[in-house]
Chains A and B, each alone.
Chain A
Amino acid sequence: MSKRFSQRQTRWAAFTVAASACSVLLLPAQALAHASDRGHVLLLPTNYYLAGGAFAVAASFLVLSLMSPEALRRLWRKRLVLFRLPDTARVAVSLLSFAVFVALIAAGFWGSRDPLSNPLPLTIWTLLWTGMTLAQGMFGNLWSWLNPWYGPWRLLARLIGSEDERMRLPSWLGYWLAFLFFFGFAWFELVYPAPDDPSKLAMVAGGYWLFSFVLMLVFGYDVWSSRGEFLSIFFAMLARFSLLDRDEAGRLSLCWPGAKLLDATSLPFSGGAFLLLALSSVSFDGLMRTFFWFGLNGINPLELPGRTAMIGMGSLGLVATFFLLALLFGVSILAGRWLAGGRLPFTQIAGLLVWSIVPIALAYHIAHYLTDVLVNGQYALVALSDPFALGWDLFGTAHMTVTAGIAAGADAAWWLWNIQAVLIVGGHILAVLVAHVTASRLAPVTSQAALLQIPLTMLMVAYTLFGLWLLATPTAG
């Protein structure tokens, strides 16, 4: 091991439980860091994709700046009304969802101990965190129907004869509580050693449900689910990107992706921070697996000690990634404001332009978890058919063969890389589009609006490069 490695290791020992890792280094080891599928990606001409992707995002800004924002907005606002969709079944759907949730929590405690046979971790991490995010981004706020709180809350409210809030949630709190819960969630997912352990996850997920339910009773369902419950907020924000829209009158229409972002109101500081945390946490999920990150922290990526020894560096990394992104975003808004003449209030510009993060966060999320969905999605189908490992076959999938090979090999790596690259570049181009139209709301003079966006566009070009690099660089774990 190089001297640099040893020095870094010593430094981090103060923060991490690295004792076990160090003891391993004293003993002979075997070669089990196998050539993962990232190995196939390393042979692809990814540098051309990085350059091409950055160029495409920059070029889209130039092209858009020549176009009239008003015409763009008119075109983007066009929608095709489909049919009326009443919300009479919302309570029933949510109650059903709650029943499924309770069954899953029970499976977490009493089902198989194997995280790939127990339906709870597979449902939470694969179907909900990845699949639901994708569904929200495509089809709109399904979560407002599917969440396991609304039905029970309505039922209980009817029983006690009041839907009124017991206390007012102070307005100065903004989205900060949701921000904290989201951070806790991201930490549990990315840093905590055993997020897949069925019983530990059952405790955390069940506990969070109960906690949120109580706060919904205290502060009112609408208030808590729009300012405190982080999943509902995250999903609602992403749903603004979707291709379907349901208006106040219940009419469902087909719209352009991101069209609902055009009318978004300015987010308070805490709301912007929440959106930036959503993007920074999924970015860190990619970063924390790169050889670059391990090298920075003195960890040998070919001989990972396991999560327990990396809690310190993971926690710091998660926090640092957020602050770095927030700083870059803040500086780019300040610089844009200065370029555009400096008359508009910073909070208003930041609060509106931060919505352009939504397509990037969505693209990162899907690109990053694509292989997880392909493989663990199959394990989920198997596990859901027999949630308590009692030999049931509820959906006829209990004995389905899981084809892990779907994401393995050079061909799969080529396809996946190309899909991921299109998602990342496409997400950023849409972000530039959202920023362009939003900027024109802030600064009606075209040249002023363009100047306002220049620094943010530069950040988006850089983030395109970063996003593609995360998917192309050597990784472990």
Chain B
Amino acid sequence: MTGRFFDLTNGKASRRTILKGLAAGAGLAAAPGFVRYAQAQSSAPMRIGFQAHRTGIGAAYGRWYERTTAAAVKAINAAGGINGRPIEVVIEDDGTDAARGAEVVAKLATQHKVDIVYGTLFSNVVVGSAPTAGELKIPYYVVSEGYHVASGKLNRYVFQPGITDVRAQVTSVAPWIAANAGKKITMIFPDYAFGYDHRDYLPPALQKAGAEVVAKIAIPPTESSFTKYFPQIPSDTDAIYHVMVGPAVLTFVKELGDFYGSSGPKLFGFIDSLEAVDINSPGLEYLDGSHFWEGSPRYAQADDTEAQKAYRAAVDIDDNGAAVADAKDVSTAAHMFGCWETLYVIKKAMEDAGYKGPEDRAKLVEATEALTEFAEGPEHPQGKKVFNGKIHQCFGTQNISKLEGGKLKVVHKTAIEDGMYEPEADYTKQSL
């Protein structure tokens, strides 16, 4: 039955048919008496287990990760699949739950017999699932942007080849901030691990670029009113670097605007906090004219490459980065490109390894580690990437965008080298 959905001569298979059909195969495979793959193994699908945040706190991201995955799988299959074999995706929901994440990896590996596991976003789920992937010796490709992979704290089976990590992102924007926003920076960040990444990585990078952090204001995670913190911002601050997240972000921006009126320091923020949120929402007016980090631009740019245009069309987002059929459904554009690019890395590594089945998983790990760079193009529409096989992490360009006229316009692309740091690990020394 799976063949029906992967008739590569039939271009009519919809995005949904592809993912759903594949998942059904997974279900039936577990049914008694079901004979897997009537075809020879050479034409049997490559089974990719998709650890998806379909419910729980990550569901808004999960929806777009699923859509991007479906679009990439459709494109790869239409072009002949991997080594001539179509990709079959098996979705399992992890509820954005660390403990369930580990269960899902085990279920995908042992029950659904997938070749690899892919697609995890939230750090807690990645950290919770990685040991299971290591124990079961199944390659685990995450799209998380956390520094956990590059830090060396996970294991040899975990890769992050399609999205840069937060340390590289923070480090690479510092030179632009020092040159354009000012020399005296005040940081406002939530008082927990995510905020600490910025607190710890930004000051040295700024110092290297000739600027300094004059104040670090940590806001408790449960705070919903911020005015009382603003008097702590030194009066000689040139720019505020803000990385607030959660539902109170809009309140934070509104109160900051009320505090400064029409004047005030320049603002630099990370789009993470406003992913999937209309940038023109009431309350965000004060952000006009400010700058943001973006992994991949939400808005279509005048100088978009053909590859970028084709990617945006494939994932069905309009020029404002919202769903083509639903203008209010704003995408998670800054992150979801990572799913597209990761699937193409998996394809490349499987082809390099001559991957045939689970017995070749070790070869697949080595083939992935042997990759060094990915050229910008249809497979990597966000831009060129450099891959460090020792720390299993890619490095790439970052976008700095200015919010003007209700749209984010890219004003600077960082160099890949701007985000590079001294590797702290070498996974290749671990046994397979």
Among B6-22, those with CB < 8 Å from A are 14, 16-17, 19-21
Report B253-285 CB contacts with A as 1/0, cut-off 8 Å: 010000000000000001011111110011100
CA distance A403 to B101 in the complex (A): 28
Question: Is B196 engaged at the interface, CB distance under 8 Å to the other chain?
Answer: yes
Q: Looking at the complex, which of B48-56, B77-85, B345-353, B357-365 is the stretch in contact with chain A?
A: B48-56
Flag if B278 contacts A410 (CB, 8 Å).
Answer: yes
B56 CB contact (under 8 Å) in A21, A34, A304, A409 = A304
Q: Looking at the complex, which of A106-114, A324-332, A347-355 is the stretch in contact with chain B?
A: A106-114
When distances are taken between beta carbons in the complex, the residues of chain A under 8 Å from B24 are 110-112, 388-390
Report A103-124 CB contacts with B as 1/0, cut-off 8 Å: 0000001111111110000000
Question: Is A45 engaged at the interface, CB distance under 8 Å to the other chain?
Answer: no
Q: How far is the CB of A300 from chain B (nearest CB, A)?
A: 5
Question: Is B418 engaged at the interface, CB distance under 8 Å to the other chain?
Answer: no
When distances are taken between beta carbons in the complex, the residues of chain B under 8 Å from A40 are 250, 281-283
Flag if B278 contacts A409 (CB, 8 Å).
Answer: yes
When distances are taken between beta carbons in the complex, the residues of chain A under 8 Å from B278 are 408-410
A29 CB contact (under 8 Å) in B123, B191, B246 = B123
When distances are taken between beta carbons in the complex, the residues of chain A under 8 Å from B220 are 2
B281 CB contact (under 8 Å) in A21, A33, A405, A410 = A410
Flag if B222 contacts A20 (CB, 8 Å).
Answer: no
Flag if B98 contacts A117 (CB, 8 Å).
Answer: no
CA distance A161 to B42 in the complex (A): 59
With CB as the reference atom, state the residue of chain B lying closest to A398. B16
Question: Is A265 engaged at the interface, CB distance under 8 Å to the other chain?
Answer: no
Q: How far is the CB of A126 from chain B (nearest CB, A)?
A: 12
When distances are taken between beta carbons in the complex, the residues of chain B under 8 Å from A32 are 57-58, 61, 121-122, 245, 272, 275
With CB as the reference atom, state the residue of chain B lying closest to A108. B27
Flag if B28 contacts A34 (CB, 8 Å).
Answer: no
Flag if B246 contacts A113 (CB, 8 Å).
Answer: no
B93 CB contact (under 8 Å) in A30, A197, A408, A474 = A197
With CB as the reference atom, state the residue of chain A lying closest to B24. A389
* Residues A24 and B124 in contact in the complex (CB < 8 Å), given A29-B194, A399-B16: yes
CA distance A382 to B197 in the complex (A): 41
Question: Is B172 engaged at the interface, CB distance under 8 Å to the other chain?
Answer: no
CA distance A280 to B193 in the complex (A): 35
Q: How far is the CB of B6 from chain A (nearest CB, A)?
A: 11
Flag if A306 contacts B250 (CB, 8 Å).
Answer: no
Q: How far is the CB of B118 from chain A (nearest CB, A)?
A: 15
A291 CB contact (under 8 Å) in B122, B222, B245 = B222
Flag if B254 contacts A43 (CB, 8 Å).
Answer: yes
Give the 6 A-B residue pairs with the shortest CB-CB distance, closest first. Answer: A306-B97, A405-B328, A389-B24, A308-B99, A405-B329, A20-B98
Q: A24-B193, A117-B20 are in contact. List 20 more A-B contacts (CB 8 A).
A: A20-B99, A28-B194, A33-B57, A39-B250, A40-B281, A109-B27, A111-B24, A113-B92, A113-B93, A301-B246, A302-B190, A302-B246, A306-B98, A306-B99, A307-B97, A389-B27, A390-B21, A403-B328, A474-B222, A476-B57
